[in-house]
Chains A and B, each alone.
Chain A
Amino acid sequence: SQQGEEDPQALSIQEGENATMNCSYKTSINNLQWYRQNSGRGLVHLILIRSNEREKHSGRLRVTLDTSKKSSSLLITASRAADTASYFCATVVMNRDDKIIFGKGTRLHILP
Chain B
Amino acid sequence: DGGITQSPKYLFRKEGQNVTLSCEQNLNHDAMYWYRQDPGQGLRLIYYSQIVNDFQKGDIAEGYSVSREKKESFPLTVTSAQKNPTAFYLCASMAHTGGGNTIYFGEGSWLTVV
**Chain A residues engaging chain B, CB cutoff 8 angstroms:** 1-2, 30-31, 33, 40-45, 48, 50-51, 88, 90, 92, 97-105, 107
Contacts and interface: CB of A to CB of B under 8 A. Distances in A.
Given A98-B48, A105-B42, A45 B103 contact: yes
B25 to A, nearest CB: 12
A21 B108 CA distance: 25
A43 B90 contact: yes
B60 to A, nearest CB: 11
A103 B42 contact: yes
B108 A40 contact: yes
B19 interface: no
A53 B25 CA distance: 31
Contacts of A40: 88, 108, 110
Chain B interface residue number, banded:
20 to 34
A100 B105 CA distance: 13
B61 interface: no
B33 to A, nearest CB: 7
A2 B42 contact: yes
A44 B41 CA distance: 17
Contact of A30 (B35, B90, B97): B97
Interface in B42-94: 42-45, 48, 50, 56, 58-59, 88, 90, 92, 94
A53 B102 CA distance: 16
Given A2-B42, A88-B43, A104-B42, A98 B105 contact: no
A31 B103 contact: no
Nearest to B49: A98
B103 A42 contact: no
A57 B105 CA distance: 23
A33 B103 contact: yes
A99 B58 CA distance: 9
Contact of B97 (A1, A51, A88, A98): A98
Contact of A98 (B40, B42, B50, B108): B50
